[in-house]
């Protein structure tokens, strides 16, 4: 299941919404098919510059976003270089200014704490101006509320909101969530998804089995 290689704007006349996969150039960012980003403030094709922050190649950290995600305007992904180290007596990033302080260039990453990659599952909705911190994993089907600050992992099909983000409720029963995670409809061929769209939209899990 793929989308046309050069199909950036999926909606006729809409230059604020992009298929995110087709505007990504950074090899440390991967995005699944049909994931969309909307930006009514900035150019949505500049997602890497405006939304993926402190993401420096020296860290080798990655942003992985699954299929069929919906990312609202201004959502931010803050990577490891934003995490000034807490193991030092000072949070000032001395290693970053190695020339000034006669430090070793190769120790520059000691200026921050590396918490790991950001991993976003499939069918995740990230609300307006939400912030996702380094090292966070968001499960399939989760919903991140408007301006939420996500500092802990979010389980599948869980709605979170607030600063810091906390669970509000599960979207479905435990059994339905288990069924959805087993079905993985986002991995189906495009033709099967089109055939089952009514069932997906109506929430009829029995028709998806």
Residues assigned a catalytic role? 84
Calpha distance 154→138 (Å, rounded): 5
- Report the Cα 36 to chain-centroid distance in Å: 11
Cα-based distances in Å from 58 to 43, 50, 96, 167: 27, 19, 12, 34
Residue with tokens 């807490």: 86
Distance CA 208, CA 186 (A): 12
Q: Please provide residue 19's backbone torsions phi and psi, each rounded to the nearest 5 degrees.
A: -80, 110
Residues 6+ apart with CB under 8 A from 5: 22
């Amino acid at each position: 299941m793929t989308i046309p290689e050069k199909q950036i704007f999926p909606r006729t006349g809409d230059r604020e919404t992009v298929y995110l996969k087709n505007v990504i150039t950074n090899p440390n960012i991967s995005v699944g098919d049909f994931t969309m980003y909307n930006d009514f403030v900035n150019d949505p094709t500049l997602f890497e510059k405006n939304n993926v922050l402190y993401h420096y190649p020296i860290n080798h950290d990655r942003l992985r976003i699954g299929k069929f995600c919906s990312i609202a305007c201004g959502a931010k992904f803050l990577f490891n270089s934003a995490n000034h180290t807490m193991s030092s007596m000072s949070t000032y990033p001395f290693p970053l200014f190695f020339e000034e302080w006669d430090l070793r260039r190769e120790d520059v990453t000691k200026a921050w704490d590396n918490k790991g990659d950001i991993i976003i599952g499939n069918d995740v909705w990230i609300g307006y101006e939400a912030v996702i911190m380094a090292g966070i994993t968001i499960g399939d089907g989760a919903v991140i509320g408007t301006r939420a600050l996500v500092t802990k992992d979010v389980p599948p099909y869980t709605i979170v909101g607030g600063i810091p983000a906390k669970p509000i409720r599960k979207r479905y029963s435990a059994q339905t969530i288990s069924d959805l995670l087993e079905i993985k409809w986002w991995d189906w061929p495009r033709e099967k998804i089109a055939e089952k769209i009514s069932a997906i939209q109506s929430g009829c899990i029995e028709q998806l089995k």
